[in-house]
Structure 1
């Protein structure tokens, strides 16, 4: 009936986003309500079932539009990249308080108070956005105090308006991070998640999945005519890598099950028997 991408458009036979009225058939339409992710990392599933595949993850502070809440699940769409899926309703809260800072370390612990020797009570990934309400220094270590009353290492956070100058440098910080299908955080990440999160930290918007990125980031080019350089993206069927220079790339991959550096030529030869040659090159 419709060719709309279900990953980026909220519609089912019984319920759909009000903005899609006239484009899809549904027995009911809803404008939804705004909510904010309050848990460090919120898994996004393809169905309201923990056994269903995890398509992506949302980080603390991200805004979503909630179309349905039922049996502990919420059907939502992310404001940042438009991704649609089912999340645990317990991971959502209200939008009353604006975040002031985001995490710039790959991962950072949360303490119950400004004391690094205290037992941690949580951890956040790079890209999480939080509200800082104060600061404190103890034994030469500076802490930011959060609205919840907890504390984090100040050097691991930066004002929301502060952006990284080079998204590739951000990607390099994730070296050795475990590979996780659907992962989008410093605790576990996949190939397109690495591209999206690294670009986000540099103030660049990027779609979530590899096929979306292969169509929507930058402009395509032919490396036989235009030499590869730092920041270029190389795509295979279902995979993407970031060039560090003209010869070497970084990517989250199922071969090493980590984020790793690899010479492009070696990667092409290794991947070819399974997935063929690169399908395209794009320059952001």
Structure 2
């Protein structure tokens, strides 16, 4: 009996040590090294896409998992607190005590919808290495005239055209835009495809689209439409008092859709209604009035 107890105790100790080692071996953070990385509901690229993480985004690592094919997946959390699973191939894991990518010093914020990045400062001699989507931020090593040299999140050096972005000193806060400027920005995305979970010009869903417009306009809100409606610190607006820049929310029983007002009657949104793309609709059309839930406005 005593021998059985000792063996059981040793087994428990081994399990405890292995668990501690596994927790210790899981990195705490990393940076996205692909242009646009799908975040899945589970560690499987056939699962549903819940959101996307963009090039240069630092993510918290919550846990790791190896699939049957020995591929490593990480459950990550983006800066807006959204969680999902990404392939290990999409991440560069930070070393202990390493500072987050592009968190300080000279950086370039991408303002073009997509900025192509090259091995050499020439668009004619080779294909691009990759692209950086709008709102992504890259370390800018140096620049002169048309071209700048960036250090990518995977530590490669590459070249980018300076007309694709703005030079900033990190950390920085985007300046607050006027409602009219927000509309001008939002219209740049007209006709881009709808993509469930999308947060980039490759494809956008409704909440990813307005979150991106607000972020570029100096206002941070959370990711999903229902959370934006209840928990983003926005002001409630009475029906009939909607104005340019406000968010309008829809759904039959609960919040399932969001758009942004571009004047007192129309709103712009990423939708599958009629055509799956970013488009302008009339708030007072019978369909939208039948599922209208409310309006929210950023604080001044």
Name the structure with the higher helix share: 2
Q: Which residue of 1 aligns with 2:174?
A: 163
Matched, 1:143 2:147: yes
How much does 1:123 deviate?
Answer: 1.3
Q: How far apart are the structure 2 equivalents of 1:236 and 1:58?
A: 26
Q: Which residue of 2 aligns with 1:89?
A: 88
Query: What's the secondary structure of 2:284's corresponding residue?
Result: helix
Matched, 1:246 2:264: yes
RMSD over equivalenced CA pairs, Å: 2.1
CA contact (8 A) 2:61 2:77 kept: yes
Q: Which residue of 1 aligns with 2:237?
A: 221
Matched, 1:194 2:209: yes
Matched, 1:234 2:248: yes
How much does 1:54 deviate?
Answer: 0.2
How much does 1:162 deviate?
Answer: 6.4
Q: 2:39 aligns with which of 30, 44, 48?
A: 44
Name the stretch that deviates more: 170-179 or 50-59. Answer: 170-179
Query: What's the secondary structure of 2:89's corresponding residue?
Result: helix
Q: How far apart are the structure 1 equivalents of 2:279 and 2:47?
A: 28
CA contact (8 A) 1:231 1:243 kept: yes
Q: Which residue of 2 aligns with 1:54?
A: 49
Matched, 1:283 2:291: no
TM-score, normalising length from structure 2?
Answer: 0.76
Matched, 1:185 2:200: yes
Structure 2: which 5+ residue stretches go unaligned? 1-21, 67-71
Task: Please give the per-residue CA displacement for 1:167-221, whole angstroms capped at 9, x wherever unaligned.
Answer: 4433222111111010001111111001111111122211100100111231112
**What count of residue pairs does the alignment treat as equivalent?**
245
Structure label with greater radius of gyration: 2
CA contact (8 A) 2:58 2:101 kept: no
